[in-house]
A and B are shown apart, each in its own frame.
Chain A
Amino acid sequence: MSAATATELEVQSVVLLRLGDRRFGISANQIAELAAPSRIFKFPHRSPGVEGVILRRGRIVPVCEVAERLLGKKISARRFYLIARRRYNTHTEWVALPVTGECELINAEITSAGEHDAAHVAGWISHDGDVIEVLDVTALTTPLEARTDSVAEARP
């Protein structure tokens, strides 16, 4: 396939996660760790989509609720936190994404996202007969109102 083709295919390691009934993928190079649920600390703030913070190996990591954006509803059941790397303009920070099932590491060919895909879709993979969205952690955890500036700036 030509490098200029819109739907470029490349084999990458992808972490498959489960949210409710659906599965999503995140490129493994954006993932730091899968962690057991721990106490969430909440305090007053105005940032939508941020539930609070957890303490993980001495670090304070924000918990970003992404189910509402991905499934259209919140999920109460959570079994793990997927600790992912979220890019900002000058550096990277960890964010904890609550997931409802065990995660799986696979190698898959990623089809690039099309121009009509949502901003949080980095691409698509086909696995076990399903077509699965590969998520862009930075776009996914950027508040909708801030998305136009910060995601554009954060992208390499």
Chain B
Amino acid sequence: MRLVPRPKSPVLQAEQIILFRVGGQLLAISSASVQEVRSVDSLAGAAAEIKDSGVKKVRHLLQREEQTLFVVNGTVHFGLPLVPGTLVFILRQTRTALLVDGIEKMTSMTQLQALPLAFCHEERLWYRGLTSLDQTVVPVVSPEGFLTAEELQVLEGTLAQRATAGAELAEGGLQA
């Protein structure tokens, strides 16, 4: 019994990707999805802590222009051993800033295989697919997969509550 020769995969244009680690796990993301890479230290003053966000993996907020971004701890998101993050990826066209261990390297991929259907849970949202690089299989993350619509709703609710509480505090201060 032999495998039938593999049908030719649709030839993809080379896509620039960033190989990075979260909780020691090697992952990839399209460079086009990353608007900015910042060190955690450089964000120390810009990030606000939000302890009870209602979403365990989000403990900090980042104010970027007129938008509030939610800092997702990659290790908590993927259920990996906690490793202190050193970098934050600000993801384009999302409300997510992703806390990661660090960048491994930048490279390009020419093939992206759909996640096999044997994987049938949240990972189908997490990954765009799998790619093989140098005889290694690397999952390519989906920038939209870090926060679900429900999680965003919870976070928005928490922000609204904070804003109301802040306004009441300010009002109380003025009256005093």
Contact = CB atoms under 8 A, between A and B. Distances in A.
B3 A53 contact: no
B116 A53 contact: yes
Interface in A18-69: 28, 31-34, 39, 41, 43-47, 50, 53, 55-62, 64
B118 interface: yes
Q: How large is the interface on B (under 10, 10 to 19, 20 to 34, 35 or more residues)?
A: 20 to 34
Contacts of A86: 117-118
B3 A50 contact: no
A93 interface: yes
B116 A31 contact: no
A46 B118 contact: no
Which of B116, B120, B130 gathers most chain A CB within 10 Å?
B116
B151 interface: no
B137 A62 contact: no
Contacts of A41: 136-137
Contact of B118 (A39, A43, A50, A58): A50
A88 B80 CA distance: 30
Contacts of B122: 45-46
A64 B120 CA distance: 13
Interface string B123-145: 10010001010011111000000
B105 interface: no
B3 A60 contact: no
B120 A146 contact: yes
Contact of B123 (A46, A55, A93): A46
A59 B117 CA distance: 14
B121 interface: yes
Contact of A45 (B3, B123, B136, B138): B123
B2 interface: yes
Interface in B140-155: none
B80 A44 contact: yes
A62 B137 CA distance: 11
Contacts of A100: none
Nearest to B139: A43
B135 A55 contact: yes
Contact of B121 (A28, A34, A45): A45
B10 interface: no
Given A41-B137, A60-B130, A93-B116, A47 B6 contact: no
B6 A59 contact: yes
Contacts of B126: 44-45
Contacts of B78: 44
Interface in A105-141: 105, 141
Interface of A: 28, 31-34, 39, 41, 43-47, 50, 53, 55-62, 64, 83, 86, 88, 93, 95, 105, 141, 143, 146
What are the 4 tightest A-B residue pairs by CB atom distance, in nearest-first order? Answer: A46-B121, A44-B78, A62-B118, A41-B137
27 contacts: A32-B1, A33-B3, A41-B136, A41-B137, A43-B25, A44-B78, A45-B121, A45-B123, A46-B79, A46-B121, A50-B118, A53-B116, A53-B137, A55-B132, A55-B137, A57-B3, A57-B6, A58-B6, A60-B132, A64-B118, A83-B3, A88-B117, A93-B116, A93-B118, A95-B118, A105-B1, A146-B120
